[in-house]
Structure 1
Amino acid sequence: MKLAVFDFDSTLMDGETLDIIAKETDYYEKIKEITEKGMKGELDFFESLTYRVNLLEGMKLKKVNEICASLPIMNGAKETIEELKKKDYKCVCFSGGFKNATSIFVQKLKLDGEFSNIFHTNNNILTGKVGGEMMFADSKGNMLLALQKLLNISSDDTLVVGDGANDLSMFKYAKNRVAFCSKEILKKEANIIIDEKDLRLILDKL
């Protein structure tokens, strides 16, 4: 058995969840700016995440879920997951985003699991607070180590795919490190670089 871990935003999903949700608010440009800086590693991930979510306070959960249900799947994602499964990979999503979206993609892509964050709500209204499994810059690396130990899978049998600075922490624990249409900070640590929006190109590199 092998392990493939995919980032969600701009990797399995074609876009940034928070940016797309923010289009329903007056803070779209601000949230988009912070997302970009965070993915480049210019801002602390925890601080950038909590700041952006705070700007969504008062938004209806129903609207958030509607948006998440219609997020676009990245080109080649379905086919890539299918092929990896044929090669005995367990395919998992690690996301600094939200279960409102990742849980849907588990079903759409037939993933083996997902780890992400949760919007705090009160009476089905976003409070502007967030919690979960992927809150910090090192969360993905720590979760990857835990999964490898649990499944008895080595770094040699691990593939990781991401695009931003918060994916760096899992790169050190995988033999195959894919920077997918990524920021320069991630390309420096990758040994597979894909600059075209087609996840199937990864299969040619394995």
Structure 2
Amino acid sequence: MPARLLVVLDADSTLIRNEVIELIADEVGRGAEVAAATEAAMRGEVDFSASLRSRVEALAGVPVAAFARVLARIEPTPGVGALIDAVHERGGVVGVVSGGFHEILDTLAPRLGVDVWRANRLEVADGVLTGRVEGTIVDAAGKAAALREWAFAHDVPLTQTIAIGDGANDLQMMAAAALGIAFNAKPAVRAQADLVIGPVDLAQVVPLLP
């Protein structure tokens, strides 16, 4: 049965308040260093894929067991439950596409009621991170492709899609959707979005749902 609408969110600083890569980097005392590099990537000052590979190198040696501590520190963004419930009440689908990691999203997304999600995967050897990403990186083009793919899979016309993000790597996804919302966003993203939401409360999106 076709869905009535599709809402796709970025994960870090949108679905959740945190930047997961920084929480993982804290496990090896490199959180501040990775945070500065993440900020530059989200402002669009550096190539996202190259930046991600470089930041993931800083995670080498983190044990997989640390993911439980990282998950315990994650704060869902206020209003996320209200938004997801409202989309479902309208017969819609909620997707999350992230430049972050499946290792966290695979637990977090179903817990929050997300229907479909896609992210990067960290390479692991002998129970610790190698500092490399497996497979193709989910970059700006990958995010836009996920939105289109999910819309097609659920028989949702692009005119019934909304994309919500905060960073430069969300801009292509926001452009692909009928409504691109800058949420908790960097200046370059606010400048190009169809709509800017100021309060960090995803319930603000509910009145915009078709």
Give the TM-score normalised by the residue count of structure 2. 0.92
Distance in structure 2 (CA, Å) of the matches to 1:201 and 1:134: 31
1:139 to 137, 142, 150: 142
SS at match of 2:66: helix
SS at match of 2:16: coil
Q: State the AA in 2 paired with 1:66.
A: R
Distance in structure 2 (CA, Å) of the matches to 1:18 and 1:90: 27
The two structures, once aligned, show a CA RMSD in angstroms of: 1.4
Judge which range, 143-152 or 121-130, deviates more.
Answer: 143-152
Distance in structure 2 (CA, Å) of the matches to 1:63 and 1:165: 29
Deviation at 1:132, TM superposition (A): 4.8
Deviation at 1:70, TM superposition (A): 3.7
Q: How many residues align?
A: 206
Distance in structure 2 (CA, Å) of the matches to 1:151 and 1:133: 24
Distance in structure 2 (CA, Å) of the matches to 1:134 and 1:153: 26
Structure 2 equivalent of residue 86 of structure 1: 89
Cα deviation code 1:9-32 (max 9, x no counterpart): 011111100112222223222101
Distance in structure 1 (CA, Å) of the matches to 2:115 and 2:137: 17
Residues 1:46 and 2:40 aligned together: no
Distance in structure 1 (CA, Å) of the matches to 2:180 and 2:187: 14
State, as a whole percentage, how many aligned pairs show the same letter: 29
Structure 2 equivalent of residue 3 of structure 1: 6
Distance in structure 1 (CA, Å) of the matches to 2:13 and 2:85: 19
Deviation at 1:175, TM superposition (A): 1.2
Structure 2 equivalent of residue 21 of structure 1: 24
Structure 1 equivalent of residue 170 of structure 2: 167
- Structure 1 runs of 4+ aligned residues shifted over 6 Å read none
Kindly report which structure 2 residues correspond to 1:1-206, keeping only aligned pairs within 5 A, or say none: 1-132=4-135, 134-206=137-209
